[in-house]
């Protein structure tokens, strides 16, 4: 399948009173048609800014896309006029936001908010747009869509609102949907429902998805490929399966150790990554993960590790010591990996007590 | 909905009774009364007896509670009595002046709104550019300029440039609209400009706040036209706080335009208010306070209706 979206050396910065925030600092990754790609990383590492840069919705005037390319269906979105870009938003790329309680307009009916995109992008008449809206709400699991259209957002729960936002993102049948932490604000049980819905819809409609998350459980179940982001850079990329079996960046290793896993003893301690992510206005020279890294060697302080292929694996890592990280982890694991639990509270004790390997 | 409106209107009554009690007793705390003031110049001639007789004629000799009950009884029958100073029925004293003040307040508010909302939105959209600064300076200047002074400037300009003076005698709108507007448009402009400042700043800040909301970003991500995002998604939300400011200002304009009225030779409520207090014209002052309070409460009620109409989260209870 062909490449649908290709982000190349994207740099986005914010000028603030305390200096230039290098929120996205030269990242590159692709999404193939129909593929689900994850972007994972701690809070503040630049995930949202990456997605907003693709949509060219970075907060003006502080935020600025400094350089790079966002090639979508062969066109560089960064070179489009504002009007051309408007036609891409919603029509070609749908977007789902983190906070369903605030991402819908409180004074407009759900119907109005669903149909406006259809009327503008597909030049639908009101009745047709309404019919399509009914269909969309049905698709995301509402049992009485026609009645729901006349209601206002405050009449829905968080999970239901997120379904509406998903319906809105899918309204014009875009080939790509960017989902920025679509379930972070929801209850664990609802999270699973929403993610299952998104997975089912993306399969059925053949939509490619970028799922942004800091939850590795989400990645394991729903993504084909994973990009791990740290301090504005991509530090590791692999297929989801490979990443769990054989992480090759100390940061990824740390992330994996900080979430409960179904394939490890229940009593194994969860270890949060020590230290804080760096200040994006003053990135250290060399590797920005070095201060928190257990594998650091002398030249990490001076030489910035490039993203390069790991010799014995089919993935890339930006670590000088990638091989040592691999062996410390006991090498590639055997057998199919069991994904970690969705949320830290959802680990199923019965199944997780499969002692040792 | 109807039930809600009726309930709200009925709830106005206790508030007004409270206002009535307050103004009745406050007026009587002020030293001096209408009889003393009227005959002050000739007090040496007016005997104590005559003063008492005059007080008895006006009912000021009765115990306070009796006076209050009589007055409230009258109001219940919509009989506000006669002015203690002029002896004319209160309704007659107030009628034309109320019409004038109401019209001036409405016109000024309209002008203020027409200035404030477009300028406020513009300033918000062009935040921190010269457009924003220009709009803000224009509105600050309005706030810093007393309307009576601006009124004088208007009159002088009309006189010097056009050799024309606006009519100086009030003609009710229903008698001669042209004459009426020719007179009132100038004070309305002067007052409206001044009062647009607060509403303008409120529009600007509310708009800036709304434009940062998540749902505006959602609307952008849907690929809507910027104009539609403004008119459909932002403006409606931003109008809520502005509405409150405008309503408060409107209520204030009903009774607070003393100097402007003088400059334009308008016989509005403002001047009447000042005079009635100066004369200790109890009946007139009380009626005026009640009237302005009623307008105030009613306008607030309209604002509440508007809120509920704009924002579906607000329920009629
Ligand atoms: N409008 C802005 N002005 C200044 N700095 C910003 C702005 N938006 C984001 N940043 C900075 O950019 C960096 C990346 O932010 P971003 O929102 O992309 O993080 P994130 O990875 O999405 O985190 P989270 O998991 O909390 O959503 C942060 O350090 C943040 O402070
Ligand atoms: Mg984010």
**Nearest protein Cα to ligand 1, atom 30:** A44
Interface membership of B220 toward A (CB under 8 Å): yes
Taking 70 as the pLDDT cut, the residues of chain B under it are 40-46, 316-317
pTM here is: 0.83
CATH homologous superfamily of domain B94-310? MetI-like (1.10.3720.10)
Render the burial of A221-246: b for 16+ CB within 10 Å, e for the rest. bbbbbbbbbbbbbbbbbbebbbbbbb
Restricting to B residues 224-283, those with a Cβ less than 8 Å away from any Cβ of A are 224-225, 228, 232-233, 236-237
Domain ranges of chain B: 2-76, 94-310
ipTM comes to 0.85
pLDDT for residue A345 is more than 50: no
pLDDT for residue A8 is more than 80: yes
Which one of B217, B225, B311 has the shortest CB-CB distance to A107? B311
**Nearest protein Cα to ligand 1, atom 6:** A14
- Are A102 and B213 within 8 A, CB to CB? yes
Q: How confident is the model at residue A266 (pLDDT cuts 50, 70, 90)?
A: low
Percent of chain A with pLDDT over 70: 88
pLDDT for B24 equals: 86
pLDDT for residue A347 is more than 50: no
Contact (Cβ atoms closer than 8 angstroms) between residue A39 and residue A227? yes
pLDDT for residue A357 is more than 50: no
Least confident of A46-55, A198-207, A328-337: A328-337
Q: How far is the CA of A47 from the centre of ligand 2 (A)?
A: 6
3-class secondary structure, B47: coil
Rounded Cα–Cα distance for residues B149 and A170 (Å): 60
The closest ligand to the CA of A41 turns out to be 1
When the pLDDT of each residue in chain A is averaged and rounded to a whole number, the result is: 86
For testing contact with chain B, the best of A57, A105, A108, A136 (most B CBs within 10 A): A105
pLDDT for A55 equals: 96
pLDDT for residue A332 is more than 70: no
Least confident of A53-57, A80-84, A111-115, A253-257: A253-257
- Which segments of chain A does DSSP mark as H helices, in order? 47-55, 82-88, 110-121, 126-139, 145-148, 158-170, 188-205, 216-222, 240-245, 250-257, 322-328, 349-352
Q: How confident is the model at residue A70 (pLDDT cuts 50, 70, 90)?
A: very high
Phi, psi at B316, each rounded to 5°: -75, 125
């Amino acid at each position: 399948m062909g490449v649908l979206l290709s982000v190349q050396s994207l740099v986005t910065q914010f000028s603030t009173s305390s200096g230039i925030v290098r929120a996205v600092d030269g990242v590159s990754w692709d999404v193939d048609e129909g593929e689900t790609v994850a972007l994972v990383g701690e809070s503040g590492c630049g995930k949202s800014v990456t997605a907003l840069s693709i949509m060219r919705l970075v907060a003006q005037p502080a935020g600025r896309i400094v350089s790079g390319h966002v090639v979508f269906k062969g066109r560089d979105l960064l070179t489009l006029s504002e009007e051309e870009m408007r036609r891409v938003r919603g029509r070609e790329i749908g977007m789902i936001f983190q906070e369903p309680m605030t991402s819908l307009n409180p004074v407009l009916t759900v119907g109005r908010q669903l149909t406006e995109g259809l009327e503008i992008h597909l030049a639908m008449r009101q009745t047709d747009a309404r019919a399509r809206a009914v269909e969309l709400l049905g698709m995301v699991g509402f049992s009485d869509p026609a009645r729901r259209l006349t209601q206002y957002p405050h009449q829905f729960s968080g999970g239901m609102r997120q379904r509406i936002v998903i319906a809105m993102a899918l309204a014009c049948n875009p080939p790509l949907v960017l989902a920025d932490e679509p379930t972070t604000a929801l209850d664990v049980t609802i999270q699973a429902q929403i993610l299952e819905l998104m997975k089912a819809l993306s399969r059925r409609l053949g939509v490619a998805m970028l799922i942004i998350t800091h939850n590795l459980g989400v990645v394991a179940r729903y993504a084909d490929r994973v990009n791990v982001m740290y301090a504005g850079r991509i530090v590791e990329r692999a297929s989801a399966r490979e990443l769990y079996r054989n992480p090759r960046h100390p940061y990824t290793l740390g992330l994996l150790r900080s979430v409960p896993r179904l394939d490890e003893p229940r009593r194994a301690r969860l270890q949060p990554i020590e230290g804080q992510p760096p200040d994006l206005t003053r990135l250290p020279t060399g590797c920005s993960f070095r201060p928190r890294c257990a594998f650091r060697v002398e030249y990490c302080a001076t030489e910035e590790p490039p993203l390069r292929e790991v010799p014995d694996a089919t993935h890339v890592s930006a670590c000088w010591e990638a091989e040592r990280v691999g062996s410390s982890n006991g090498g590639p694991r055997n057998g199919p990996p069991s994904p970690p639990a969705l949320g830290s509270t959802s680990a199923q004790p019965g199944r997780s007590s499969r002692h040792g390997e | 909905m109807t039930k809600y409106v009726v309930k709200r209107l009925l709830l106005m009554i206790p508030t007004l009774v409270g206002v009535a009690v307050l103004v009745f007793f406050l007026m009587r705390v002020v030293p001096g009364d209408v009889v003393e003031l009227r005959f002050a110049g000739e007090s040496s001639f007016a005997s104590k007896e005559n003063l008492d007789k005059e007080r008895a004629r006006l009912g000021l000799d009765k115990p306070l509670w009796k006076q209050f009950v009589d007055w409230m009884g009258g109001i219940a029958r919509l009989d506000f009595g006669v002015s203690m100073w002029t002896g004319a029925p209160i309704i007659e004293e107030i009628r034309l002046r109320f019409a004038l003040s109401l019209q001036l307040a409405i016109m000024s508010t309209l002008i203020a709104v027409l200035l404030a909302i477009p300028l406020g939105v513009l300033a918000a959209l062009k935040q921190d550019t010269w457009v924003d600064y220009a709009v803000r300076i224009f509105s600050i200047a309005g706030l810093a300029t007393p309307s009576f002074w601006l009124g004088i400037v208007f009159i002088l300009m009309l006189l010097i440039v056009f050799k024309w003076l606006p009519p100086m005698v009030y003609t009710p709108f229903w008698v001669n609209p042209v004459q009426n507007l020719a007179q009132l448009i100038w004070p309305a402009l002067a007052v409206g400009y001044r009062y647009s400042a607060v509403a303008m700043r409120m529009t600007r800040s509310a708009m800036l706040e709304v434009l940062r909301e998540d749902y505006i970003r959602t609307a952008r991500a849907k690929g809507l036209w910027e104009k539609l995002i403004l008119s459909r998604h932002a403006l409606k939300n931003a109008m809520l706080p502005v509405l409150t400011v405008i309503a408060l200002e409107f209520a204030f304009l009903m009774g607070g335009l003393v100097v402007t009225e003088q400059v334009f030779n308008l016989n509005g409520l403002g001047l009447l208010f000042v005079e009635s207090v100066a004369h200790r014209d109890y009946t007139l002052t009380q009626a005026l306070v009640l009237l302005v309070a009623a307008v105030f409460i009613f306008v607030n009620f309209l604002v509440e209706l508007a809120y509920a109409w704009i924002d579906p989260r607000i329920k009629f209870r």
